[in-house]
Chains A and B, each alone.
Chain A
Amino acid sequence: MSISSESAKAYWGENLRIIMFYLAIWFVVSYGCGILFVDALDKIDFFGFPLGFWFGQQGSIFVFVVLIWAYVASMNKLDAKYDVQE
């Protein structure tokens, strides 16, 4: 059941890269679009919403859902690649 330590290390490294990638998007849509750049984005009209307001109250939540499922898919693939799935 245990895998070699090099392979475990490589698995963990790839895992961390996947997490960093998704969390970067997570940060940009919520803290970026919804808070830090909200005033600039609010000048853009998005289906009747000021864009920054939309990201803060609707868009970021949709992106969060997509992110978790994309992460699930990436991890299932990674688990299979290193043969560590259950």
Chain B
Amino acid sequence: MLSYLFIGGSFLLYIGIAVWARAGSTKEFYVAGGGVHPIANGMATAADWMSAASFISLAGLISFIGRDGSAYLMGWTGGYVLLAMLLAPYLRKFGKFTVPDFVGDRYESNTARIIGVACTIIISFTYVAGQMRGVGIVFSRYLHVDINTGVILGMAIVFFYAVLGGMKGITYTQVAQYCVLILAFTVPAFFLSAQVTGHILPQIGLGATLETGQSVLATLDQLSMDLGFAQYTTGTKSTIDIFCLTVALMCGTAGLPHVIVRFFTVPRVKDARTSAGYALIFIALLYTAIPGVAGFGRVNLIQTLNGPDNAGTEYAAIPDWFKNWENAGLLAWNDRNGDGKIQYAAGSAFDSKGGKPAFDDGADPRGEMGQRLATNALVGAEFDATKQPFANEVYVDRDIMVLANPEIAQLPAWVIALVAAGAVAAALSTAAGLLLVISTAIAHDLMKTVISPNITDKQELMYARMAAVVAILIAGYFGINPPGFVAQVVALAFGIASASVFPTLMLGIFYTRMNTQGAIAGMLVGLLSTVGYMWYFVFGGGDPADYFMGISPGGFGAVGLVLHFVVAIVVAKFTPPPSEEMQRIVADLRIPRGAGEAHAH
């Protein structure tokens, strides 16, 4: 009941703001009129940036992979340092609306512009699909509606404020969404930390010593080892893989079009720098709490599932949250040893990649205890007795950790409702920002600049709204029929941003000699090598043993980035320099004074 109240209330708030901040011109639609205060812009950037992946998935991911998760924490925050120092102030001075705008104008080429449009659209769509799935999970679990109804509801809300309000509506809605999502993440984090360690701040609590005399992290290491998992505080991936993944995520973050566009909305160059500073503070509030939430959640999960005597918990005695998530299809139990108890340890309980259960959805058959049955349940309970005390019988979807955490810890009902509202806020705010970038790329960069430059401001605005509608419908389709590889697809988005957008922007600013040919060659090489590598290893059945230098597809964006720089610079050396006029413009964009407003042409 409370979930309805919290989610419904937050929706009314967002719609109210959207009506108040309707966009009247293309400039208000694209860059909110260019007059957003840095603090508001920082909050909006933070909400824009922190998606369902940050809110729902990241803590869950770290909970299961421990130290290797550092790559995501550092990658998704360190990118802001690059943005603040290498891109944001100069892009603001250049004074255009979008990434393709900069690429097309700086390199004096519509071919470059169209490649920019393609990168923007690929990156943004792959990202949107993940957001819609997040909305679907929350709706199906907390509002007990069908996932499809949930997605359509989410689409309707985004439609309302993105299409009507444009950047202006989105910016002010995102400020509200930031407040909702940061409360929704930190309040349960404080509760959890206080409950487990006695310290209210999870940043300190994670290092605390428990009543047993062992620190939280040492306890985690112990629990993990006892159950056959890798130690929590040691890594399992190779150093070069983690290094490359971090580079790809950092440079990808700095190259995401929907984040970059944020820095066009502030009045001055100076404000672009401070905006990045505020954005990172607001992001760090959530990100530094994530390791705590991940760690405490892991301890609670293991202890609840395996019981105080570490022998398993009777299915009949398991708390309601287990059955609720089981009904949502994100938890499953396969009683391999037939003792009626749930046991959680290393290994798969179901016969598939990642141990995912294949539920028989049509008939929804139940076992004698009432548990959902899967068609691919492993038979027999073999396990390595030297490593773990029993065979694993549980499938836990990583994405449920943040949402289930407050329930596992038996926090008050309003905290659980707040988390649900926060997850929706995180998904919707990012989806809206992405949809806006897609519609801008189509209406402004493709229609207005390349195809028919004679359209009026009003017509362009109409095209932008139409593009937004189409984009929402496509995103909704992906939400209802989610590709089974959302995580890989999101990694693809970062890889592409890192290998195509980030280097071309950087070269455009820092290398006056960079010309049309170099830029086009660089972007194509970065884009194609990264997409090709990921495609081959993720979908094409490539063998991980053949990874280039042991670099997994998620980290290949770093290699694409290097290739891009090398190819672009070499090609530029052998082709004519850019026009005198352009060299003068590049020299000028390095000086803050005279930025004026973000303008069209």
Chain A residues with a Cβ under 8 A of chain B:
1-3, 5, 8, 11-12, 15, 19, 22-23, 26, 30-31, 34-36, 38, 42, 46-50, 53-54, 56-58, 60-62, 64-65, 67-69, 71-72, 75-76, 79, 84-86
A68–B239 touching, CB < 8 Å: no
Pairs A-B, 9 closest by C-beta atoms:
A48-B207, A56-B70, A57-B291, A68-B277, A48-B215, A47-B207, A84-B593, A1-B594, A49-B207
- For B288, list chain A residues within 8 Å (CB): 58, 61-62
Q: A48-B208, A86-B269 are in contact. Are A72 and B591 (CB under 8 A)?
A: no
Assess A64 versus B269: contact at CB under 8 Å? Given A22-B85, A35-B246, A50-B233. no
- Known A30-B246, A53-B233, A62-B288: A79·B270 in contact at CB below 8 Å: yes
Q: Contacts of B62 on A, CB cut-off 8 Å? A: 57
- A65 and B242 within 8 A (CB): no
B24 within 8 A of A: no
Say whether B206 contacts A49, CB under 8 Å.
Answer: yes
A-B contact pairs, 7 of them (CB 8 A): A34-B74, A49-B207, A56-B73, A57-B62, A64-B284, A72-B84, A86-B592
Instruction: Tell me the smallest distance from the CB of A8 to a CB of chain B, in Å.
Output: 6
Q: A8-B591, A57-B73 are in contact. Are A31 and B280 (CB under 8 A)?
A: no
B69 at the interface (CB under 8 A from A): yes
Q: Which of B276-328 contact A (CB under 8 A)?
A: 276-277, 280-281, 284, 287-288, 291
Q: Is B243 an interface residue (CB 8 A)?
A: yes
Evaluate contact between A86 and B270: CB separation under 8 angstroms: yes
Q: A31-B246, A35-B242, A48-B207 are in contact. Are A56 and B67 (CB under 8 A)?
A: yes
Given the interface pairs A23-B85, A64-B280, the reply to whether A3 lies near B69 with Cβ below 8 Å is: no
- Is B84 within 8 A of A30, CB to CB? no
Nearest A residue (CB) for B593: A84
User: Is the beta-carbon distance between B276 and A68 smaller than 8 angstroms?
Assistant: yes
Contacts of A1 in B (CB 8 A): 593-594
Cross-chain contact A68 with B206 (CB below 8 angstroms): no
Q: A61 to B85, Cβ gap below 8 A?
A: no
Cβ A68 vs Cβ B84 within 8 A: yes
Answer whether A57 and B69 are a contact pair too, CB < 8 Å, given A23-B85, A49-B206, A68-B280.
Answer: yes
Contacts of A23 on B, CB cut-off 8 Å? Answer: 81, 85
Q: How far is the CB of B271 from chain A (nearest CB, A)?
A: 9
Cβ of B235 within 8 Å of any chain A Cβ, yes or no, is yes
Task: Give 11 new A-B contacts, CB below 8 A, not counting A11-B590, A76-B270, A86-B594.
Answer: A5-B587, A8-B587, A31-B243, A48-B209, A48-B215, A57-B62, A57-B73, A58-B203, A62-B284, A72-B273, A72-B274
Q: Decide yes or no: A64 and B80 within 8 Å by CB, A8-B591, A53-B233, A84-B592 being known contacts.
A: yes
**Pairwise interchain contact A35-B277, C-beta atoms closer than 8 A:** no
Contact with A along B40-67 (1 / 0, CB 8 A): 0000000000000000000000100001
- Contact, CB under 8 Å: B80 / A84: no
- B233, A42: Cβ atoms under 8 Å? yes
CB distance from A49 to the nearest CB of B (A): 5
Whether B239 lies near A35 (C-beta < 8 A) is yes
A30 and B207 form a contact (CB under 8 A): no
B270 near A85: Cβ-Cβ < 8 Å: yes
Question: What's the minimum C-beta distance from A47 to chain B, rounded to whole angstroms?
Answer: 4
Could you say which of A3, A19, A30, A49 contacts B217, with CB atoms under 8 Å apart? A49
Q: Interface digits, B181-214 against A, CB 8 Å rule (1 contact, 0 not)?
A: 0000000000000000000000110111100000
Tell me whether B70 and A57 are in contact (CB under 8 A).
Answer: yes
B78 & A30 in contact (Cβ 8 Å cutoff): yes
CA distance A44 to B223 in the complex (A): 22
Nearest chain A residue, comparing its CB with the CB of B62? A57
- The residue on B at minimum CB distance from A8 is B591
Q: Which residues of A contact B587 (CB under 8 A)?
A: 5, 8
Closest to A70 in B: B277
Contact status B203-A36, CB under 8 Å: no
